[in-house]
């Protein structure tokens, strides 16, 4: 047992017994200190929560490494201090504060609103839960300098989080992210101004919803197709979260009239009682929606995660069975549809661009290249896609971008992934496919035949707590020290280390990687076009392996064989990575 670590966390925890903390918090900390099992104490205090790819996120409870009113309070006080420093010449600094359906989310949002207002900052506080993308939109729409959304996205019910946004509506990037942390680190609990100024808090709601939905409706490419298929039978579930009002409303505004919601999951509930985990990437979370689809013979299933930034789509395959379209396929379908329709309508000017993350399928690169569209690769996390949009403002037109983890953004008036617009666009694509005598599944097969087949699998290796974090660090170090030369009998022709920002080709030649900053990611590319990416999660205690295996499809009938062949390659790649 690490006695130095126990001594450190004990001293830190004792500080939480001070009168500045409430009785419930002191009692929980006291219980951890008195317990013979020091693991909960270590996990709660061995570090302070830090901003990752999704902001501040952690398990709720007492401790510096937990989500509670004090970690939220410190973060907000630090942000307020930084905002007052950055915009000191502005007459009135303003922020948007929103939240999702989770336990304590409204409490944390009100705590944040009170602290901002106590520091002289005007707060636009949403009346109730709202989708994450609407928070991003509202920051831009209301001309605010920053914003906060209390959400843990798709994480299990024990989690909550704090997404911090800047004035462009995107999640905070350097130098602001590290600067905020520096300000947060200077905050003692006694410095937090918990008592708000009600005169500086304005509650907002439907007036912003209406403008947001109006803007989303402008993304519709084929309203005539929707008019012909307004009775498209759609099943939708918000999985107890923020999409329950705005997504059905958006679908209706686009012209769809036959929408069937999973009533049991339309209930706002931070315990997510109908699912094991509220992540639409997990097939289990889609079970009730697909069961309803079978019952009513629907044509498409749509789902959003609890903060309505991620979309999941299910459709019937060639055998009539319901199947989930994975995140890579979803991004492919969206970009294929937007690009082909823009070309057909003569809307391309030659200045359009799309974005994907480096761990997302390379088929998208093929789609972009064959259609002469500029494509950018960026790090995981929509804040990086937002940066590419910002860097190209006034120069080129963003028409879409996404990532393998079920996130897509069709618009530039919002700067985070958006299930509200994505669900509406997905329904339009299903209507367009139907209008052309095909299903969504058949459309996907046509994309594979035209642009090449690949299969992608993400493997999450969970390593909780302090010991898990140490193990993940060691795994990454081992991969760096001993980079693979071969995978699945295929030579590695490019090894990328984004921490060192160096690439080594198959002959040992080293070149620089052009990225905005270093990141703890490794990638391997083989001669046959296979790819493996490795990165620790920025929001959860896990290390993630993204496997992509290339294959061949001459026609739709080849899909099953190509998929099985790719599975065999992926199995060998897993073995090579030791997982």
SS (H, E, C) 60-98: ECCCCCCECHHHHHHHHHHHHHHHHHHCCCCCCCEEEEE
Listed in sequence order, the residues at least 6 apart from 27 whose beta carbon sits closer than 8 Å to its beta carbon are none
The pLDDT tens digits for 460-484 are: 999 988 889 899 999 999 999 999 9
Q: How far is CA 434 from the centre of its chain?
A: 30
- Once rounded to an integer, what is the mean pLDDT over residues 20-45? 96
Per the model's pLDDT, the better-predicted residue between 540 and 134 turns out to be: 134
DSSP state of 562: H
Cα angle, residue 235 at apex, residues 299 and 255 outer, rounded to 5°: 80
pLDDT at 177: 86
Pairing of strands 407-409, 453-462: unpaired
CA distance 221 to 243: 22
Q: Is the pLDDT of residue 316 over 80?
A: yes
Q: Which residues of 314-326 are buried (b: 16+ CB within 10 A; e: fewer)?
A: bbbbeeeebbbbb
Q: What band does 52 get if pLDDT is binned at 50, 70 and 90?
A: low
Token representation of residue 334? 């969206």
pLDDT at 69: 98
Are the C-beta atoms of residues 438 and 395 closer than 8 Å to each other? no
- Once rounded to an integer, what is the mean pLDDT over residues 116-135? 98
pLDDT at 293: 98
- Return the half-sphere exposure (C-beta side, CA atoms, 13 A cut-off) of residue 368: 23
Q: What band does 414 get if pLDDT is binned at 50, 70 and 90?
A: very high
The pLDDT tens digits for 163-172 are: 999 999 999 9
Question: All domains of the chain, ordered by start, with CATH?
Answer: 47-204 (3.40.120.10), 212-451 (3.40.120.10), 453-577 (3.30.310)
Active-site amino acid positions: 153
The pTM assigned to this predicted structure is 0.95
- Once rounded to an integer, what is the mean pLDDT over residues 110-131? 98
The pLDDT tens digits for 346-369 are: 999 999 999 999 999 999 999 999
CA distance 537 to 531: 18
Q: What band does 51 get if pLDDT is binned at 50, 70 and 90?
A: low
Residue 216 burial (CB count, 10 A): 28
Q: Which residue has the tokens 């002191």?
A: 26
CA distance 401 to 381: 11
Comparing 111-125, 277-291, 439-453, 532-546, which segment has the lowest mean pLDDT? 532-546
pLDDT at 541: 83
- Name which of 135, 159, 147 is nearest 67 in CA terms: 159
Q: Can you state the percent helix, strand and coil of the chain, rounding each to 5?
A: 40, 20, 35
pLDDT at 48: 87
Q: Is the pLDDT of residue 1 over 70?
A: no
Residue 344 burial (CB count, 10 A): 11
CA distance 314 to 35: 47
3-state class (DSSP) for residue 169: coil
Pairing of strands 352-357, 397-403: parallel
Q: Is the pLDDT of residue 310 over 70?
A: yes
Q: What band does 485 get if pLDDT is binned at 50, 70 and 90?
A: very high
- Once rounded to an integer, what is the mean pLDDT over residues 96-103? 98
Q: Is the pLDDT of residue 540 over 90?
A: no
The pLDDT tens digits for 240-267 are: 999 999 999 999 999 999 999 999 999 9
- Name which of 414, 358, 362 is nearest 381 in CA terms: 358
Residue 482 burial (CB count, 10 A): 8
Q: Which residue has the tokens 């209301």?
A: 142
The pLDDT tens digits for 426-468 are: 999 999 999 999 999 999 999 999 999 999 999 999 998 888 9
**SS3 readout for 335-367:** HHHHHHHHHHCCCCCCCEEEEEECCCCCHHHHH
């Amino acid at each position: 047992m690490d006695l130095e670590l126990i001594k450190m966390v004990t001293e830190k925890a004792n500080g939480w017994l001070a009168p500045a903390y409430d009785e419930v918090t002191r009692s929980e900390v006291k219980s951890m200190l008195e317990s013979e099992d020091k693991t909960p104490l270590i996990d709660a205090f061995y570090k302070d929560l830090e901003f990752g790819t999704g902001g501040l996120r952690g398990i709720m409870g007492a401790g510096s490494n937990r989500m509670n009113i004090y970690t939220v309070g410190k973060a907000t006080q630090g942000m307020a201090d930084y905002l007052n420093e950055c915009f000191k010449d502005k007459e009135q600094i303003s922020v948007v504060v929103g939240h999702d359906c989770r336990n304590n989310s409204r409490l944390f949002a009100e705590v944040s609103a009170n602290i901002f207002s106590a520091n002289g900052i005007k707060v636009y506080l949403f009346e109730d839960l709202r989708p994450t993308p609407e928070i991003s939109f509202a920051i831009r729409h209301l001309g605010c300098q920053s914003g906060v959304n209390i959400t843990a996205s798709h994480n299990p019910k024990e989690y909550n989080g704090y997404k911090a946004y800047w004035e462009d509506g995107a999640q905070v990037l350097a130098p602001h992210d590290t600067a905020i942390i520096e300000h947060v680190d200077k905050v003692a609990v006694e410095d937090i101004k918990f008592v708000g100024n009600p005169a500086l808090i304005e509650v907002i709601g439907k007036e912003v919803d209406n403008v947001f939905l109006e803007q989303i409706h402008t993304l519709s490419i084929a309203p005539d197709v929707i008019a012909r298929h307004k009775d498209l039978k759609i099943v939708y579930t918000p999985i107890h979260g923020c999409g329950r009002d705005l997504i059905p409303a958006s679908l209706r505004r686009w012209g769809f009239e036959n929408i069937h919601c999973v009533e049991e999951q339309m209930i706002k509930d931070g315990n997510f009682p109908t699912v094991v985990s509220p992540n639409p990437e997990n097939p289990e979370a889609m079970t009730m929606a697909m069961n309803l689809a079978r019952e009513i013979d629907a044509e498409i299933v749509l789902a959003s995660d609890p903060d309505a930034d991620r979309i999941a789509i299910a459709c019937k395959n060639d055998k009539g069975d319901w199947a989930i379209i994975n995140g890579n396929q979803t991004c492919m379908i969206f970009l294929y549809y937007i690009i082909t329709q823009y070309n057909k309508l003569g809307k391309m000017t030659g200045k359009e661009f799309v974005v994907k993350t480096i761990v997302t399928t390379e088929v998208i690169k093929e789609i972009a290249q064959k259609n002469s569209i500029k494509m950018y690769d960026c790090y995981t996390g929509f804040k990086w896609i937002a940066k590419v949009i910002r860097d190209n403002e006034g120069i080129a037109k963003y028409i879409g971008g996404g990532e393998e983890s079920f996130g897509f953004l069709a618009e530039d008036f919002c700067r985070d992934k958006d299930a509200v617009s994505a669900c509406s666009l997905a329904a339009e694509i299903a209507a367009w496919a139907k209008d052309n005598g095909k299903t969504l599944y058949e459309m996907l097969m046509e994309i594979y035949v035209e642009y090449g087949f690949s299969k992608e699998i993400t493997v999450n290796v969970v390593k909780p707590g302090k010991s898990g974090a140490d193990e993940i660090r060691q795994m990454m170090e081992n991969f760096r020290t001993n980079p693979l030369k071969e995978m699945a009998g295929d030579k590695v022709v490019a090894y990328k280390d984004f921490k060192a920002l160096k690439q080594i080709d198959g002959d040992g030649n080293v070149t620089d990687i052009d990225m905005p900053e270093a990141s703890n990611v490794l990638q391997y590319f083989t001669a046959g076009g296979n790819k493996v990416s490795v990165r620790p999660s920025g929001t959860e205690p896990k290390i993630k392996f993204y496997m992509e295996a290339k294959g061949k499809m001459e026609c739709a009938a080849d899909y099953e064989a190509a998929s099985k062949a790719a599975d065999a390659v992926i199995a060998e790649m897993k073995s090579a990575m030791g997982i």
